[in-house]
């Protein structure tokens, strides 16, 4: 289904997930002000100060998620940089318990100081991934933002499970999870909305055309363990870029 956009996104809200810790919800609510405190636009580049605010927000969200029940985080460094030392990053692994995520729900965990969203997609959500294809900038995932095993419309090892670094590829804000049809735009099929500058992604993190974000969100290296009841996030795919 084609998504129609109005010029100049007028939606307000913020990816204000500081202090929420692990998120397990059907949908993020728009609330508060945007990190830059101003009106939104689809095309504008943020000033340097906006970037800093976005990164501070990103770090606050990532660090607040550590240590919550249901997620075992091993050797996660508490650092204040988007690019942790390579040797430390290589050793950091996060294991998430999938039994706590019902169909349609999501969980966001901290992995190497990055928020990683895990979405349990329903058959209806999977169906929408085919319907939005004409509106996507890179529907077949030609840009290597994911490991080879995730180079498919689901961007996943298993279609029902999305495991993705929840960072907008424009300027590193944290997009809102908006799975309900019609919530962002009249013909919205569900996906992610970054209120910082109006970027839109589908339920696989594939970016729409004509938005500020230049590429799909990054999929990390991961594997299912314990008979598929848990997922282990192990590394950033080397060719993928956060923002």
Name the residues that contact ligand FES, by CB under 6 A: 54, 168, 170-171, 173, 194, 196-199, 212-213
Measured over the CA atoms of residue 5, residue 10, residue 11 and residue 13, the dihedral's sign is positive
Residue 26 Cα to chain centre, angstroms: 14
Task: State the minimum distance, in angstroms, from the CB of residue 189 to ligand FES.
Answer: 19
Beta bridge partners of 94: 73, 233
CA–CA distance, 60 with 169 (Å, rounded to integer): 18
Q: Token pair of 83, please?
A: 């690019």
Pick between residue 55 and residue 121 the one whose CB is nearest to ligand FES: 55
Whether residue 193 lies in the annotated active site: no
Pick between residue 156 and residue 194 the one whose CB is nearest to ligand FES: 194
Of 48, 120, 193, 197, which one is the catalytic site residue? 197
Task: State the minimum distance, in angstroms, from the CB of residue 212 to ligand FES.
Answer: 5
CA–CA distance, 228 with 89 (Å, rounded to integer): 24
Task: State the minimum distance, in angstroms, from the CB of residue 72 to ligand FES.
Answer: 30
Task: State the minimum distance, in angstroms, from the CB of residue 22 to ligand FES.
Answer: 22
3-class secondary-structure state, position 83: coil
Pick between residue 121 and residue 170 the one whose CB is nearest to ligand FES: 170
- Residue whose C-alpha is closest to residue 190's, from 42, 27, 30, 41: 27
Within a 13 Å sphere around the CA of 182, how many CA atoms are in the beta-carbon half?
0
Q: Token pair of 14, please?
A: 């913020």
Pick between residue 112 and residue 199 the one whose CB is nearest to ligand FES: 199
Which positions are catalytic?
197
């Amino acid at each position: 289904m084609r998504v129609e956009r109005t010029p100049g996104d007028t939606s307000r809200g913020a990816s204000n997930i500081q202090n929420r810790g692990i998120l397990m919800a059907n949908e993020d609510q728009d609330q508060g002000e945007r990190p830059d405190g101003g009106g939104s636009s689809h095309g504008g580049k943020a000033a340097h100060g906006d970037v800093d605010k976005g990164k501070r927000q990103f770090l606050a969200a990532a660090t607040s998620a550590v240590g919550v029940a249901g997620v075992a985080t091993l050797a996660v460094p508490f650092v204040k940089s988007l690019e942790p030392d390579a040797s430390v990053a290589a050793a950091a692994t996060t294991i998430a318990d999938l039994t706590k995520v019902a169909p349609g729900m999501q969980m966001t965990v901290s992995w190497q100081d990055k928020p990683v969203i895990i979405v349990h997609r329903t058959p209806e959500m999977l169906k929408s991934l085919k319907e939005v294809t004409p509106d996507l900038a890179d529907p077949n995932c030609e840009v290597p933002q994911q490991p080879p095993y995730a180079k498919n419309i689901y961007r996943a090892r298993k279609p029902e499970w999305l495991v993705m670094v929840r960072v907008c590829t424009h300027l590193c804000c944290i997009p809102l999870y908006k799975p309900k049809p019609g919530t962002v735009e009249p013909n919205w099929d569900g996906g992610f909305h970054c209120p910082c500058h109006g970027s839109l992604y589908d339920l696989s993190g594939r970016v729409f055309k004509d938005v500020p974000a230049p590429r799909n969100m990054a999929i990390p290296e991961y594997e299912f363990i314990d008979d598929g009841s848990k997922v282990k996030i192990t590394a950033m795919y080397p060719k993928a870029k956060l923002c």
